[in-house]
């Protein structure tokens, strides 16, 4: 069966650029056995498309709760483990996926940084010693990279979702997507005391106007 990978990528800063690949993601399978495109099967959507929205109503769609290792939507790590048992070099595959993600984000970094600076100002400032000192970033992005593997396990980028769906139709969705959000917030190192101090400062400025 044809499948693609949903890789969750966290960008926490544009200056300096910081990118994190989350360990867990999703693998989404088509529901009709794949054969090379031809005039006879070109319109068989459930063979060529891996979208959950396309396949979820198919009669042979398998929900992960009934078979977590053979479902039509599975954990990324489960699929990688299966490939490793077949003798594939998963370490090399992960490196190729990392390079794909980094190069993709680098291509949009100038526009991303410009948009951030226009909204929030620069994330660093020059100190008295002439060195640039970093300030805390005010924004982050949790992106969804859709990646297709060919027969040689070469990853190909299909698209980057700026606002990936965090809908939870199944328990697997809730687990994977909930963990992605939890890990993103944890990685940001949010401190409730800083938030309270910021709100207090804003209220003080408003009262002085």
Contact 104, 145 (CB under 8 A): yes
Question: Is 192 a residue whose pLDDT tops 60?
Answer: yes
Tens-digit pLDDT profile for residues 32-62: 999 999 999 999 999 999 999 899 999 989 9
Residue with tokens 């991303």: 112
pLDDT for 25 equals 96
Mean pLDDT of the 177-204 span: 85
Angle at 116 between CA 111 and CA 118, to 5 degrees: 95
Residue 31 confidence (pLDDT): 94
Question: Which pLDDT does position 93 carry in this prediction?
Answer: 97
Cα radius of gyration (the chain): 21
Local structure of 144: helix, strand or coil? strand
| pLDDT at site 189 | 79
Confidence of residue 16 (pLDDT cuts 50, 70, 90): confident
For residue 131, what pLDDT band results from cuts at 50, 70 and 90?
low
Report pLDDT for 124. Answer: 60
The whole-number pLDDT of residue 136 equals 66
**Of 5-14, 66-75, 76-85, where does mean pLDDT reach its minimum?**
66-75
């Amino acid at each position: 069966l044809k499948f693609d990978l949903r890789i969750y990528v966290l960008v926490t800063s544009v200056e300096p650029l910081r990118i994190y690949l989350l360990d867990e993601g999703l693998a989404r399978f088509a529901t009709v056995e794949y054969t090379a495109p031809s005039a006879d099967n070109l319109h068989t959507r459930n063979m060529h498309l891996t979208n959950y929205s396309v396949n979820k109503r198919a009669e042979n769609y398998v929900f992960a709760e009934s078979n977590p290792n053979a479902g039509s939507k599975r954990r990324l790590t489960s699929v990688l483990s299966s490939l490793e048992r077949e003798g594939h070099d998963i370490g090399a595959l992960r490196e190729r996926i990392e390079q794909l993600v980094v190069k993709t984000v680098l291509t949009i970094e100038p526009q991303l940084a410009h948009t951030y600076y226009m909204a929030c100002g620069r994330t660093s400032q020059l100190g008295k010693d002439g060195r640039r000192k970093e300030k805390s970033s005010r924004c982050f992005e949790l992106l969804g990279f859709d990646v297709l593997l060919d027969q040689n396990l070469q990853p190909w980028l299909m698209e980057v979702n700026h606002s990936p769906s965090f809908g939870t139709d199944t328990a697997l969705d809730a687990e994977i997507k909930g963990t992605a959000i939890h890990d993103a917030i944890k990685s940001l190192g949010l401190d409730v005391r800083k938030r309270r101090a910021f709100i207090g400062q804003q209220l003080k400025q408003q009262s002085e106007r």
